[in-house]
Each structure stands twice: as C-alpha cells, then as structure tokens.
Chains A and B, each alone.
Chain A
C-alpha cells in the first residue's frame, strides 16, 4: 500500500468511514443544540454509505446493490433532515430555545 496508490485500496475507504463515524459519535454526545446533533447524525449516515460504496466496489459480486442502498440511505437522510428541521422549528416556537438543557419538561 503506497501513498499515491491509496485510492485503489479497500482499507483506505474503511478507515475514512470509521473516521466519519467517530466524528459523528463525538458530535452527537458533546453538542448542546439539537441542530448540532442533527449535523453529527448526518455524518454517521455518510459513514454508513461510505462503507456500502467501498464494499460494493471491491468485494461484492454485484456492485449495483451497494450503490442502490447508498441511494436509499440518501433518501432516508433527506426525509430525516426534513422531519428533524420541522421538529426543531416547532420546539423553537414553544420554548424560544433549541438548547437541550432547556427542553427538560419530562425530566423526572
């Protein structure tokens, strides 16, 4: 595995996917606002589709399957973003805040 030949190797893409997943988990735990957590969850979805694409390019017998599932992940991510944004706007109307520390009405 050479530095200029990295784009032909499966492990490069797996490490990129793991890196995106780690960043997503870090942001999801440490962010204080809902929008920050939404951005981190998009990173996690991108990591999943990265792995699908890498396996479909290098290992799978039929490369179309991984690409189709990447398209499905994109559709799910778009739907999730639309729903999450409308929930954020609705929460902001009721609480005048998107801080997770302020939305604790159900806290026992």
Chain B
C-alpha cells in the first residue's frame, strides 16, 4: 500500500488542542455516517429528510476541515436550508395521508441487489482511493474567497453563465410543471 498523504504525521495527544480538533472531526464523521444511514434506511419519508439534513450538516463540518469555510457556509445555506426544505415540501404536498411510508421493496430482490451494488461501489472506490499513488503538485494559488471570485468571472466565466441559464430554466420549468392542472 502506498503511503498516505497527510499534512502532518504526528500523533497529537488527546488533551492538546490538535487532539480536541481530531475528536471534533470524528464527531463530524459520525454525523455524516448516521445521517446517511437514516436517510437511506428509515421507513418514514420525513425521517429520511431529517437524516439528509443531518448528513449535510456533517458534510459542512468536513468542508470546514478542508480549509474552506465559505463552501461550508454555502453547504449549510443551499443543502440544509434549501434542498432539504424543498424535499420536505414535496413530502407534505405529494404524499397520500394513509401511507407515508417509503419502506424498502418487499417482494422483489431490489433490497439485496441495492445493498450488494452499494457495497461493491463502496469497496471498489475505497480500495482505489487507498491504493493509488497520488501525486502532489506544488501550490500555485491561495484558494481564498477573493481568488474564487476572480476565477468565477475570468477562467470559469462560461460555466458560470451556463449555470445561470440552467437555474433560470429550472425556475421556469418548476413553475410551469407545478402550475399545470391547478384548478
């Protein structure tokens, strides 16, 4: 196995500041795993959305550990604040009252098939990530908020405009689709 890529290789003591930060990161990982587990295995759809919000909160913490608090804030705003809420609205608007269960398919073999597919992808990607010899390139940019803003409007300006058009189309399409059929 190749050597792991770590910024620092020391083992911090449990009672130092770095050790405490490591404990917080372990709690973040626990949030992500528990949230994803609830989101995919819970029987009620409302609990699935709550698990999704917990998972996204943990991901925001992980982005904070990846040295970009701006992306962590955007994660909280967009995913936890907007996407989870819009899915919760969908559950409230479009679920039959007597059966708001989302139970795993009973009769077919979709449950075991899905589990084996997920386990296959997880193990394959994990082995790939651990075995590959990653090459570290020397740093050129700082990656701070100012550089992100400059790059958005210079190097990635085309993609930025395309994303704007996609969002506009999504808004129009959502309005047209959801408005049709209303009496």
* Binary CB contact string for chain A from 46 to 70 against chain B (1 if under 8 A, 0 otherwise): 1000100110111111111101101
Q: Is A103 an interface residue (CB 8 A)?
A: no
Binary per-residue interface labels of chain A (5-29) against chain B in the complex, 1 for a CB within 8 Å, 0 otherwise: 1111111111111111111111111
Contact of B125 among A14, A31, A36 (CB under 8 A): A14
Task: Please indicate the chain A residues that have their CB under 8 angstroms from the CB of B19 in the complex.
Answer: 4
Please tell me if the beta carbons of B170 and A77 are within 8 angstroms of each other in the complex.
no
Main secondary structure on chain B at its contact with chain A?
A: helix
Contacts of B134 in A (CB 8 A): 10, 58-59
- Number of A-B residue pairs, CB cutoff 8 Å, is 288
Closest chain A residue to B127 by CB distance? A18
A93 within 8 A of B: yes
Q: Are A16 and B143 in contact (CB-based, < 8 A)?
A: no
B125 A18 Cβ-Cβ under 8 A: yes
B contacts, CB < 8 Å to A: 4-12, 14, 18-19, 21-23, 25-26, 29, 32-33, 36-37, 39-40, 45, 48-49, 52, 55-56, 59, 62-63, 65-68, 70-71, 74-75, 78-79, 82-83, 86-87, 89-91, 93-96, 102-105, 110-111, 113-115, 117-119, 121-122, 125-126, 129-130, 134-144, 147-148, 151-152, 156, 159, 163, 166-167, 169-171, 173-175, 177-178, 180-181
A sample of 26 cross-chain residue pairs with beta-carbon separation below 8 angstroms, ordered by A number, consists of A2-B11, A5-B9, A5-B22, A6-B25, A29-B113, A29-B114, A30-B104, A32-B105, A35-B48, A36-B48, A36-B102, A43-B39, A53-B71, A54-B66, A57-B66, A58-B5, A63-B68, A67-B71, A76-B166, A77-B78, A80-B170, A81-B86, A83-B174, A84-B90, A85-B87, A92-B94
